[in-house]
Structures are given as structure tokens and as C-alpha cells.
A and B are shown apart, each in its own frame.
Chain A
């Protein structure tokens, strides 16, 4: 079974600064996907970024980028130029690439507060 660990329950960052959220995972699979989801106070689950494990290049989406270290089973999210709208709960998630109805396994989340 897969496990996802987010060791930072809460983080705070000032507007315009950079923050990094940590995530580690444990799996015996070699082919999988990793995700970061954002959950604002509305509680909607919004996909932030996705990484395919077979790709060495780290994914980026505008101000969001990841540091994917496959050997270390680490998948951190960097948010640059933080904005007040980035305030949310952030969940790291793992999915096996089985080509079928694979489920997501989530970490416990990191609550990010962006302050003025």
C-alpha cells in the first residue's frame, strides 16, 4: 500500500515571498503520478500541478513548481511570489499508473497562510 506524508501541518509566508511545502511518499511502484491539490475555504479540490514519475524534468505551472526526487521519494511544492489567494490547504497525492480506475492517496495536508 502507498502512503503519503506531509510533515508540515501549517506554514505561513508573506505576500510576494517564496514558500516550499514538503511531501514524501512510500511505494514499491515504479510507474505513478504525483499531484498537489489546493483546497481553499470553499473546500473545492483544485489541481495545482501534476508530475509523471517517469519524467525526470520537474513540472512547473506559472508560479508553482515541484522538486521531484524519485530516489528519495520526495515531492515538494514551491510557490513563488505568493499571493493572498494562495491561502488554502494543500494536499499531496499519489496515484499508481495502472491504466485503469486508479485511486488517489492523499497526505494529511499543509495549511498555508499568506500574510501581508
Chain B
């Protein structure tokens, strides 16, 4: 079964450093997302991406965050200057169409900011 692949599985970074989280969505999917989950809390929406532009973003997704789909296969989340409170599990997801079908999550990247 097709998978959404995320790398790395765990990243440790120093406060103030830039990090890039990488995702390879399922190849024929059209909609791409990033969610985050602070340890012990609920999963929160960050941003959705369609047709090479952001469709929607949450209040969390401030100027420190950006997304890119540079080559038609990868989908990246960049955090420009990490803060301690950015420590969380970051999930990439993709879906094939604009309905409730086929919403598939990756296995996540655990980001630890020290």
C-alpha cells in the first residue's frame, strides 16, 4: 500500500537554528498538509498546500514557518529559527482529492529543540 514517507524520524536542533522537515507524499495525491502534536496533546493543523500554493494556514503557522514543494515529489516544512516550544511531533499528510477519501499520514518527525 502506498505510504507517505517522512525524514528524518527524529531531529534534535539547537534553539535559533533552522530545520527542514521532509516528506514524500503519495505520488498521485494532490493535497498536502502539515500537522503537529506537542507531546501529550492533540494533533493540530498547521498548513494545507494545493496547486503549488498554500490553501489555508493556522495561527500557529507564523512567519517562522514556510512550506515548499520544490521538485514535484518532496514537500518540506521549514522552521526558520526554532524555539523550545516548537518541540513536537510533525506529521505530513496527503490526499488524492477534495473529499474525505484517502487522507494518509506519514509516520512523523519528532523534533526536539534544546
Contacts and interface: CB of A to CB of B under 8 A. Distances in A.
A101 B43 contact: no
Interface of B is mostly: strand
B33 A103 contact: yes
Interface stretch (B17-25, B70-78, B79-87, B100-108): B100-108
B42 A108 contact: yes
> Would you list the 3 A-B pairs with minimal beta carbon distance, nearest first?
A33-B100, A101-B55, A45-B105
Contact of B41 (A42, A43, A95, A108): A108
A28 interface: no
A56 interface: no
Nearest to B97: A99
B35 interface: yes
Interface residues of A, number: 27
Interface string B17-57: 00000000000000101010100011111001110000110
Given A44-B108, A95-B100, A103-B48, 11 more contacts: A33-B99, A33-B100, A43-B110, A47-B103, A52-B100, A99-B99, A100-B55, A101-B48, A103-B45, A103-B56, A103-B58
Contacts of A44: 105, 107-108
A91 B42 contact: yes
A70 to B, nearest CB: 15
A25 to B, nearest CB: 13
A97 B44 CA distance: 19
A105 interface: yes
Given A103-B33, A103-B45, A45 B50 contact: no
Interface string A87-116: 000010101011111111111110000000
B43 to A, nearest CB: 4
Contacts of B37: 43
B42 A101 contact: no
A106 B100 CA distance: 14
B113 interface: no
A46 B104 CA distance: 8
13 contacts: A33-B99, A35-B100, A37-B105, A42-B107, A45-B43, A45-B108, A93-B43, A98-B98, A101-B31, A103-B56, A104-B35, A104-B45, A106-B44
